[in-house]
Amino acid sequence: MMSQVTPEPLDYKPPLSSFLEDYVQTLFNDPTHSDIILVFNHVKYYLISHLVKRSAPLLYQKFEDLIKTNSSKPPIQSTPEEVLENLSKILAKADKPTVSMGSSTISKEALDAVLESFYGKSFKITSVSNLEGVYQLSVMFGMIDVRDRCIETFQKTIKLETILDDVVKAIKNDTPFRHVLTNYLWDNLELIPLNKTFFDFVSTLDDDDFIDAVLTAEDLISDGLVTSFSDSLIHDMMNAWAQHHANPDHIKDVFSQAEWGSHTKQLFKQIWPKVFAASTDE
């Protein structure tokens, strides 16, 4: 009697045909096959929740939260006619969960490209304005890979010789990539001319950017990368910032938000002596 040979496991994955890829793309913004509606800048988009969940988890979460909120509402007393009407709407999928969002800085071109990508359609962004729009959407929708690709693409356009001017403009106009530019500036602080223009810029920083700037300077000094001006860099930065920030409660709040080095702590007391006159901090 012959012994039976056990075959190797058959692992078969059918290829995704171009027909199927093309078919899925045709479902974009199709009211017949959608189960949710996104209203963005007053324009309706008919979407499929399973595809949204796979590509944009934060956007999907908005629909989930909406559904949970509606399902938790107490039942409303309805007439038999109203019950039949509501039932007909549900069966016809006319009453679909609808989320409204918007942003005046995001173009329809950028939005369409991102939403169509849920259905497998690739896109190519060639303008900075649309790149900013796609970046904003990737943050709003929770699309981490797209967000990171946008940052990588934008970083390739940054020039060290104009970074300070670019950051000033970005902060003034509150552009989507302002934090990318600011982070690049701090990461390359040892290469930036520390002149009047730089310290004028420091004086206008918000709390978070000021904290990042000083902590970065502390690290550079600790690493020995700015030894030629280590004694004065942090002092001059804090002194510049003090020109527009003198409220005692505000200064104490900033002081409490970071683990400052001992030298920086002393500078806080030196530059704002009245604020820390009764302080027992080291």
* Percentage of the residues of the chain whose pLDDT score is greater than 90: 35
Q: What is the mean pLDDT of the segment spanning 46-73?
A: 89
In CATH, what number is assigned to the domain containing residue 109?
A: 3.30.710.10
Q: What is the mean pLDDT of the segment spanning 44-57?
A: 94
- How are strands ordered across the β-sheet holding 36-40? 43-47, 36-40, 98-101
- Checking if the pLDDT of 257 tops 60, the result is yes
* Domain identity same for 63 and 180: no
- Checking if the pLDDT of 80 tops 70, the result is no
Domain end residue (candidates: 119, 134, 154): 154
Domain end residue (candidates: 104, 138, 154): 154
Instruction: Give the predicted TM-score (pTM) of the model.
Output: 0.74
Q: What is the mean pLDDT of the segment spanning 1-9?
A: 64
Q: What is the mean pLDDT of the segment spanning 240-265?
A: 88
C-alpha 219/C-alpha 157 separation (Å) is 26
C-alpha 73/C-alpha 22 separation (Å) is 40
Residue 83 lies in a domain: no
Residue 200 lies in a domain: yes
Torsion, Cα of 169, 175, 178, 181 (10° steps): -70
* Domain identity same for 224 and 251: yes
* Domain identity same for 112 and 202: no
**Residue whose token pair is 């002194």:** 239
More confident call, 129 vs 82: 129
Total count of domains within the chain: 2
Q: Which domain holds residue 106?
A: 22-68+92-154
**Which residue type is seen at 207?**
D
Residue 15 lies in a domain: no
Q: What is the mean pLDDT of the segment spanning 57-64?
A: 96
> What pLDDT is stored for residue 189 in this prediction?
81
C-alpha 226/C-alpha 40 separation (Å) is 48
* Percentage of the residues of the chain whose pLDDT score is greater than 70: 80
> What pLDDT is stored for residue 91 in this prediction?
46
Residue 281 lies in a domain: no
**What does the DSSP assignment read for 47-94?**
E-HHHHHHH-HHHHHHHHHHHHHHHTSPPPP--HHHHHHHHHHHHTT-
* Domain identity same for 119 and 177: no
C-alpha 61/C-alpha 79 separation (Å) is 33
C-alpha 98/C-alpha 272 separation (Å) is 52
* Domain identity same for 166 and 120: no
Is 52 buried (19+), middle (13-18) or exposed (0-12) by CB count in 10 A?
buried
